[in-house]
Chains A and B, each alone.
Chain A
């Protein structure tokens, strides 16, 4: 099986597993909603204040949510030792990572897009006119989060205190994603919106660097 066909097959499996239970998506949506509501108490969300602080808190909510959502990614393969089966079924172990990280990106993107209108309404920021550009930033940001998160969840799944460990390993590593995507979002939510291409390019570079690292070193993460 080629990398592409095994990745598609595994991606189908990831999506099926999630859409049967929908556990991950529902809990993540509720979590982000809660963070958005709680953040509103930390400052006065007027029109101008929301524009200044909104993008940062939105991305922080996404990052926190992701660090929880990525937990079960490899953990659920442990219950019936399905990871060994996965490893045996593909030529290239990178396919396992690729399928998982694409699935995680889709899940994240889906919850983010679901939460965007809620954020827009609660914080009074117009998002419709920059929707296309926002989706681009959300996609590049979520991809970066998923690449690093999928790799690290393979590590944390085999450690003690794993629930605490994944956010600890992941969040400092994701600082560049947080900074760049927040800056681009600030530009998009500005009174006269603009797309900061430098930030978009930076996110793309982050994604490429970590995808390459995962491609080079991923197989070692799955060793018995």
Chain B
């Protein structure tokens, strides 16, 4: 318990420091002005969300081959936390886009594929609520998770090739659009803070899911008697 409080306090400090960095350390962007500071939250959440989904995918594969409930618990924790971070991305994106691009949303490759990614993992969580038997639920959601993860590059590719309306995102569009070194530092620090937050949330969710899973097993055994 003491350890958890300590970990939470450290994460709280890290996120606070990242926010401080984004507001006061990073230089103001020349054309976009202060609104660009949302970038540090937006991009670091996006990367963290992808990390969480990758963890979910690895847990899914391991569950299919090893059949240990731990991997199932990890996969749902990672999917939920990933979904939260992706929601942050989808909400902070339009807030940033409206003053800069003049529109809330554009059907660009990154935006659209993030949205589809969000939908896929929302369906992943929905599927889990609709299968009763624990082992079957774990197996089916693991398999769907694998299919969904394989689909992501295809979604991105298809939208990038055929649907992208503007050529390059305003920031980090490629080799031409460099970032100030201080901005890079703040961005990586924010990402680190978000990863720490992800680890904290995922651990808490895992503990909860493990307790739930064990309770379910005990109940099952009790019913068998």
Contacts and interface: CB of A to CB of B under 8 A. Distances in A.
Interface of A: 148, 151-152, 155, 158-161, 165, 168-169, 172-173, 175-176, 179-180, 183, 198-199, 202, 205-206, 209-210, 213, 217, 220-221, 223
28 contacts: A148-B147, A151-B143, A152-B144, A152-B147, A155-B144, A160-B130, A160-B132, A161-B130, A165-B126, A168-B123, A168-B126, A172-B123, A173-B120, A175-B116, A175-B155, A175-B158, A176-B155, A176-B158, A179-B159, A180-B158, A180-B162, A183-B162, A202-B157, A209-B150, A213-B147, A217-B146, A220-B143, A223-B139
A155 B150 contact: no
Given A172-B151, A176-B151, A221-B143, 8 more contacts: A151-B147, A158-B131, A165-B126, A172-B116, A173-B120, A217-B64, A217-B146, A220-B139
Given A176-B151, A179-B162, A202-B161, A217 B143 contact: yes
A160 B131 contact: yes
Contacts of A172: 116, 119-120, 123, 148, 151
Contacts of A220: 64, 139, 143
A151 B145 CA distance: 13
Interface in B104-163: 116, 119-120, 123, 126-127, 130-132, 136, 139-140, 143-144, 146-148, 150-151, 154-155, 157-159, 161-163
Nearest to B140: A155
B37 to A, nearest CB: 32
Contacts of B148: 172-173
A139 to B, nearest CB: 18
A159 B127 contact: yes
B15 to A, nearest CB: 31
A169 to B, nearest CB: 5
B146 A213 contact: yes
Interface of B: 64, 116, 119-120, 123, 126-127, 130-132, 136, 139-140, 143-144, 146-148, 150-151, 154-155, 157-159, 161-163
A55 to B, nearest CB: 12
6 shortest interchain CB distances as A-B pairs: A176-B158, A179-B158, A176-B154, A159-B130, A172-B119, A160-B130
A179 B155 CA distance: 9
Contacts of B151: 172-173, 175-176
A9 to B, nearest CB: 26
Nearest to A160: B130
A141 B127 CA distance: 25
A169 B144 contact: yes
A220 to B, nearest CB: 6
A52 to B, nearest CB: 14
Contact of B130 (A165, A173, A183): A165
Given A217-B64, A217-B146, A220-B64, A155 B162 contact: no
A158 B143 contact: no
A202 B159 CA distance: 12
Contacts of A176: 151, 154-155, 157-158
Contacts of A169: 123, 127, 144
A150 to B, nearest CB: 12
A159 B124 CA distance: 13
A160 B163 CA distance: 35
A92 B140 CA distance: 20
A206 B147 CA distance: 12
A159 B133 CA distance: 9
Contacts of A205: 154
